[in-house]
Amino acid sequence: MKGFKTKSARIALCAIALIVGATAAFGATAQKILYLPADAEFDNLDPRVLTSTIQALVQFGIFEPLVRTHDGQLLPGMAKTWEQSKDGMTYTFHLRDAKWSDGKAVTGGDFVHAFVRMFQICPASPIYDDIKNGAELRAGKVQPADLGVKAPDAKTVVITLKNPVPYFMGLIASSFGAPGREDLVAKYGDGYGASAESLASNGPFILKEWKKNDKVVLVKNPDYWNASAIKLDQVVVYVLPTPQTQRNLFDSGQLDMYLPRSESEAKDFQAKSLLHLYVRGGIRDLQINRHGQNDPVKAKILSNVNFMKAISYAIDRQGYIDNVLQGAGYPATVQTPPGTGVYPGKTWGQVSTNMGKYHPATADLAKSKAYMDLVLKDNGFTSVAQLPTFDFLTSIGPDDPKDVTGYILGVFQQMGLKINVKLATGQQFYNNLYKPALAWDICRAGWGPDFDDPATYMGYWTTASTDMGVTYENAQFDALLAKGNMETDLVKRAAILNQAEALFADNAPCIPLIWYKGEIALSARVKGFTTAITGLTTDYIYADLTK
């Protein structure tokens, strides 16, 4: 921990010097340069390599998918027009004339390559399993040519589904749906996406510079199809792991965006008319590794649903939000946030009957103890002190006020659990999280939505999913999701998803914790900066700067 802070301080000091120099350059050249912070390093910017949602901050700037979302609207991207078949299972996209930043033409084949590669290597690919033969390709049961993504010619992409998907257009409006370059993948191998020179851009901006643990510099792409709508000349993203450094630089006018760490901070910015409020997707949760790192004693405890419930009922979600976050969040009692859309005119909060039913907003220590007593009885123990030490994996240090890690460690201590904290950042966190490593017993995790629908939260947990360290592995849950996603009556579909949610909330190896509020502080010179519940939640693409 001490070494981590020291490294962060060095990075921060270097960043300050760089920002001051860049700010001086801004005044000299009169260029419009937006300065943004990032909490962690960008390990890889290949859209098919899943590291963390922070990558999207850059990926949405340098890549253009078939369609993109902006300010809650679905907009054309590389596809200038498209059609959907009457049965809702075939989409035909007609590409515009465009070229990559190295001069090569963007073709339909670039999209075919990207989707094939996604199913071959991307942990998030199961969310696209409604594409014909997608799951089969990932499992190695079919050849790439069998995937339901074709390019009949250089300017056409045809995507065939195995069943209608109500949210499909929103699903492909993510960086996962961006084209890729087969020649560069072949040239750089595993190094593709890990450096600026290994990538070509086709989006609003070009990746000009990438200094690890320092900054990423994007410059306006003069060949972008909608270049006339792009007002910014550059976007500079500084890697600043220390929140206080970000706050200091924002207050001194050297950063244009800051994420308040508490409600009191947010109110300070609100009083200065610098606070922007928005509906934020995503969840922070705890996940439980039922396999216990191949330790049979741990596995028996961790796979006991009463162990999950004992922890959940010991957590005072509302108290933590009120007293620590000072109101900057909402108690999560299921996975899907209530503001998520489910069908026109209805949000999930108006449909779900499960909120607060299986996981409480406030702690109930009596119930927590009762569930733990059942765990002890089932495993032949007489006290919590006899339980083994559990490895707790997190990517955020316990002293970070914006995160729940420190509080959860306090809950474990109150319960009498023995915990070994495993702090890993960047790609190492995911290397520990995913199979085959599964190097943890309990993990502080969470994610943001890929599209505005409950299926984005539930789909991560299907047996076929590779986007979690462990999955629910419940055939009834899988069947309900499959049934729901084939139901074209959206009201009936919502009822089916509600059943799936109830099943999951009752006994899955996952404990929902917090839905964070969407609050960002923006410099007064920033105009046209928008937000969204999915995709690029902090969207600078069409932003502008005033003097």
The answer as to whether 188 is a domain residue is no
Model pLDDT, residue 149: 98
178, 196, 219 — which closes off a domain? 178
Q: Give the per-residue pLDDT at 536.
A: 66
User: pLDDT tens digit string along 258-297?
Assistant: 998 888 899 999 999 999 988 778 899 999 999 999 999 9
Average pLDDT over the chain, rounded to whole? Answer: 89
Residue 260 lies in a domain: no
Looking at residue 382, which CATH number applies to its domain?
3.10.105.10
Look at residue 28 in the predicted model and tell me its pLDDT.
43
Per residue in 29-65, pLDDT (tens digit) is 589 999 999 988 888 899 998 656 678 889 999 999 9
Please indicate, yes or no, whether residues 138 and 287 belong to a single structural domain of this protein: no
Would the pLDDT of 530 be above 60? yes
pLDDT at 285: 95
Task: Let me know if residue 467 belongs to a domain.
Answer: yes
- pLDDT category, 22, cuts 50, 70, 90? very low
Could you tell me if 470 and 353 lie in one domain? yes
Q: How far apart are CA 80 and CA 67, in angstroms?
A: 9
Q: What percent of the chain has pLDDT over 90?
A: 66
The strand pair at 205-211 and 156-160 is best described as unpaired
The reported pTM is 0.76
Q: Does residue 52 sit within a domain?
A: no
Asked if residue 4 belongs to a domain, the reply is no
> Domain check: are 384 and 511 in the same one?
yes
The CATH number of the domain holding residue 141 is 3.90.76.10
Quick one: pLDDT at residue 79? 97
pLDDT at 51: 56
Asked if residue 205 belongs to a domain, the reply is: no
* Location of structure tokens 């995937």: 147
Whether the per-residue pLDDT at 24 is higher than 70: the answer is no
- Judgement on whether residues 288 and 168 belong to the same structural domain of the protein: no
223, two tokens: 């060949």
What's the pLDDT tens digit per position in 211-243?
Answer: 988 999 999 999 999 999 999 999 999 999 888
Q: Which of 178, 201, 236 corresponds to the end of one domain?
A: 178
Among 178, 202, 217, residue at a domain's last position: 178
| pLDDT at residue 126, rounded to an integer | 83
Residue with more model confidence, 5 or 520: 520
Quick check: 388 pLDDT over 80?
A: yes
Residues 330 and 472 in one domain: yes
Instruction: Among 74-78, 257-261, 306-310, 481-485, name the most confident range.
Output: 306-310
To the nearest 10°, report the CA torsion of 256, 276, 541, 52.
Answer: 80
* pLDDT recorded at residue 327: 83
User: Taking residues 414-426, what's their average pLDDT?
Assistant: 94
Q: What is the model's pLDDT at position 398? A: 86
Q: 131 near 147, Cβ under 8 Å? A: yes
What digits encode the pLDDT tens for the residues 156-207? 999 999 988 888 998 898 888 899 999 999 999 999 999 999 999 999 999 9
Task: Indicate if 167 and 305 belong to the same structural domain.
Answer: no
Question: Looking at the 3D structure of the chain, how many domains does it have?
Answer: 2
The confidence score (pLDDT) of residue 52 equals: 66
Whether 314 maps to a domain, the answer reads: yes
Expressed as residue numbers, the domain containing 416 is: 283-516
More confident residue, 373 or 445: 373
Per-residue buried b or exposed e for 474-502, using 16+ beta carbons within 10 Å of the residue's own CB: beebbebbbebbebeeeeebbebbbbbbb
Give residue 452's pLDDT: 83
pLDDT at residue 406 is higher than 90: yes
257 in any annotated domain: no
% of the chain exceeding 70 in pLDDT: 93
Q: For position 299, what pLDDT does the model report?
A: 97
Residue 189 CB coordination number (10 Å): 9
Distances (CA, A) of 113 to 118, 181, 204, 512: 8, 7, 21, 36
The span from the CA of 461 to the CA of 126, in Å, is 10
472 in the same domain as 342 = yes
